Amino acid sequence: MYTIVTGAAGFIGSNLVKALNERGVGDIIAVDNLTKADKFRNLADCEIVDYLDKNEFIDALAAGEFDGAVDAVLHQGACSDTMEHNGQYMMANNYRYSLELLDFCLDQEVPFLYASSASVYGGGRVFRESREFEAPLNVYGYSKFLFDQVVRRRLAETDFHSQVVGFRYFNVYGPREAHKGRMASVAFHFFNQYHAEGKVRLFEGCDGYGNGEQRRDFIFIDDVVRANLHFLDSGASGIFNLGTGSAQSFNDVAVATVNACRAAQGEVALSLAELHGRGMIEYIAFPEALKGKYQSYTEADISLLRKSGYDAPFATVEEGVGEYVKDRLKA
């Protein structure tokens, strides 16, 4: 029997494959699109039994080749570029593809855990898993929202007896995201900027926030993986926010990144004011292309997640970024 991980060479997918390996799970079929070939590096230290291109996998699924042979599907494959303007591609890749996998898992009665996104909330100020708070700002968010709506309808059916779990990921950061380029986390970019130039650059204030004070719910990849595996074990179903429940500023991420780099060099930690005063943190104009399409504030309401029985603590930015910097310094 196989565990299927889609998006397996991507950021969250590869971390899940590695975590499954650490549990002794090796019969993993990795599904992805390696048009961007550098992603293979994320799987180089992982154990899988086969790799299938996404289109090859869809054909095999339709032909019945996996009938009766799957333990679970962890569906992380998606186009996550929030600036992607090709709506037809986005809907085919994120919505229709997910529907095919959902139908397969319901038919086979195997657990289906999938990646949703906090982008479904758009520019709102309430981040609770309820329809009235959902208003995506771009086609990426809409593709995730639309699939969540299908899942809700399926979960409400009286004869429903399969496990389906959707995770609305907030701002995930950590190892194995380098291939994402401009879509990688701010922690990744701040680390690279500091090592290349000795400083990091943040956006100036917008939407009523001061310079670098826009706030997001930043969650470390280890916490995301831990939650996925918990639900795989528990058998619980539903759509859940997956964030820390505590927003922190971009300034917090910048300070944590620079100070973790300084600590590795035996240098003392500095405050935001000191780092700015020494030119290690600077602010740049907010991009015109992002105006009206940017979430200046996100903070997961994790009450439903906690009610489900998931009670593990989450790393703060200072803790998670500190671990991430150590990993980046080994690369």
Catalytic residue numbers? Answer: 140, 180
Q: How far apart are CA 101 and CA 58, in angstroms?
A: 9
Length reported for the chain = 331
Sheet strands (E) in the chain: 2-6, 28-32, 50-53, 70-75, 112-117, 164-169, 171-173, 200-203, 215-216, 218-220, 238-242, 248-249, 281-284
Gap between the Cα atoms of 103 and 117, Å rounded: 21
* CA atoms lying within 13 Å on the CB side of residue 111: 21
Query: d(Cα 119, Cα 147) in Å, to the nearest integer?
Result: 13
Gap between the Cα atoms of 218 and 171, Å rounded: 5
Q: What is the DSSP string of 252-291?
A: HHHHHHHHHHHHHTTPPP--HHHHHHTTSEEEEPPPGGGT
